[in-house]
Structure 1
Amino acid sequence: MLNVSIIIPAWNEAERIRDCLLNATRQTIMPHEVLVVDNRSTDNTCAVVEQFIAEHPEPPVKLLHQNDEQGLIPTRNFGLNAATGDVLGRFDADCMIRPDWVEVVSGIFTEDPAAMGATGPVMYYDMPSRHFGLKGDNSLRKRIYRADGGQPLLFGSNMALRASAWHQIANEVCRDKADVMHEDIDISLHLMGKDLK
């Protein structure tokens, strides 16, 4: 099985980051590493992460700082570039992944050597009838969240990339400071531009 790094960009996430880290480290297979990439938080996000690391020394959680530039894209890129796993999982600091997320993601890339990116459904925990919302969101995304030619697009709240694929596109992904095209779509299109699955 391939190992999985988890990258969590964070800006002022003190309220949810502890739950996210508990969730990311209570997996059926331990992630290779969990990288929290702080981006100039003005709340106590860093203190919460440092306390989590002190209280839970066994899980491989690391706090990194990306202070050069404000924004999700440079923070995400910093984390993806710093990661050392075979597969790079990326989700938001307020996301709660399933307990078998690392195992499933590792399995996808282990079983299909051609797979370079993978994405999955999301359930919004503040949505009424969440389980119905999950099915509806997943069904709708499968139908309409596609590029020309019908290829599925990655969804940033639940996505993973093979590290070798990221390294092929890392210097080409768009900076998009105006957020004209979301960062997950941009990664998807760059992968497709290299004929990567």
Structure 2
Amino acid sequence: MSLLDFVFYSFITAVGIQVVFFIAFFGKFAFLKPEKKSQKNIDISVIICAKNEAENLKNFLPSVLAQKYPNFEVVLINDASTDDTLDVIEAFAAEHNNIKIVDVKNIEAFWGNKKYALTLGIKASKYNHLLFTDADCKPLSKYWIQEMSSCFNNENSIVLGYGGYSKIKKSFLNKLIRFETLVTAVQYFSFAKAGIPYMGVGRNLAYTKEEFFKANGFINHIKIRSGDDDLFINQIATKNNTAICVTENSFTQSLPKTTFNNWIKQKRRHISTAKYYKLKHKILLVLLYCSQLLFWLFATTLLVTTFKWQIVVALFATRIILYYTIFGASAKKLGEKDLVLILPFLEIFLIITQLTIFINNLISKPNHWK
């Protein structure tokens, strides 16, 4: 067998793996019809952990406090901030009687550890059902709490939501950031629908206090700086206790990074937790990423050399059409339809970026959550 023969059959294998992922996982989410859920109006504690977020709280906290929901509290955690975060929190608390303040001081054992601050906030919360977001996030509707809380029932104690990023015109970096967020969301929503939930994002995530204490909180990974959202969900989520919420009124939106270096630092921290996922999740994610990388690498090689080009072009076109169909539908579902036209270019850039981050994380490890 020649080298090109090996590349050709490897290309076919990569396409096959991709097709299985598209049809068996991502397609089911892309064309999922939202379920109509009854309004439950259960008591909710919204938890926001803030570290040096004075300005963001001024801008975004009003949209949380303005939610159309009968009974909710907002637990504001000041995680040892060095700016005016505590003053801003206290000013809001003076005007709203449903705010609870948790002022966290650094201690030697948990210096700079967000999980310690979150644990204190969860313990201080009044209600069993907890809804999490970040200080730089805003709900995109006044019915965010209602939509997310409607997914709780006797079985579902975890609700995975979508937290996107605001758009910046004429910025390729912004499109890349939002595309990466879209791809990640499609993966964790699709796997959850398939009965193998593996992560959620703290920008829009809900679970019960009962689940938190049943798992002994973050104790299993308390020394890992990141992972208060994805690692914890990876630990406790099952096919029976996890629901997804993808209605338009359930979305949140955050401020994106505006420089490539800052975004890379953020993603390095996020990606560093993946090695602690359960083995079955790591196998699926590695298989997915490798099949994407090898698809583009082998397709380029075979098309440049024109080796069995008719078959290669047919397989390449099939995969691209599937990708456009499924991720195009997902982008529209999650409010990111402006990304559709340049999906393949964004995918190539993201694959290269993720490979760079992986190599950098092997050389040096990121530490602090902020």
TM-score > 0.5, shorter chain as reference: yes
Alignment match, 1:57 = 96
| Aligned residue among 73, 87, 90 for 2:129 | 87
1:115–1:162 contact (8 Å) kept in structure 2: no
Alignment match, 1:185 = 230
Displacement of 1:134: 6.4
Q: C-alpha distance in 2, partners of 1:194/1:74?
A: 28
2:42–2:71 contact (8 Å) kept in structure 1: no
2:151 counterpart SS class = helix
Displacement of 1:161: 0.4
Greater share of helix? 2
Structure 1 residues 152 and 30, CA, compared in 2 at 3 Å: closer, same or farther?
farther
1:3–1:31 contact (8 Å) kept in structure 2: yes
Structure 1 residues 149 and 26, CA, compared in 2 at 3 Å: closer, same or farther?
closer
Displacement of 1:30: 4.5
Q: Which amino acid aligns with 2:139?
A: I
2:81 counterpart SS class = coil
Alignment match, 2:150 = 107
Alignment match, 2:115 = 73
2:49 counterpart SS class = strand
Scaled by the length of structure 1, what TM-score is found?
0.82
Pairwise CA RMSD of aligned residues? 3.1
Q: Which amino acid aligns with 1:78?
A: L
Q: C-alpha distance in 2, partners of 1:172/1:63?
A: 21
1:143 and 2:187 equivalent?
A: yes
2:49–2:134 contact (8 Å) kept in structure 1: yes
Q: C-alpha distance in 1, partners of 2:64/2:70?
A: 8
Structure 1, unpaired ranges of 5+: none
Scaled by the length of structure 2, what TM-score is found?
0.46
Alignment match, 2:202 = 156
Query: Deviations along 1:7-31, whole A, 9 cap, x unmatched?
Result: 1111111111122321111011055
1:174 counterpart SS class = helix
Structure 2, unpaired ranges of 5+: 1-40, 243-370
Structure 1 residues 140 and 37, CA, compared in 2 at 3 Å: closer, same or farther?
closer
Q: Which amino acid aligns with 2:163?
A: V
Give the number of aligned pairs.
Answer: 192
1:17–1:48 contact (8 Å) kept in structure 2: yes
Q: C-alpha distance in 2, partners of 1:124/1:90?
A: 16
Alignment match, 2:254 = none
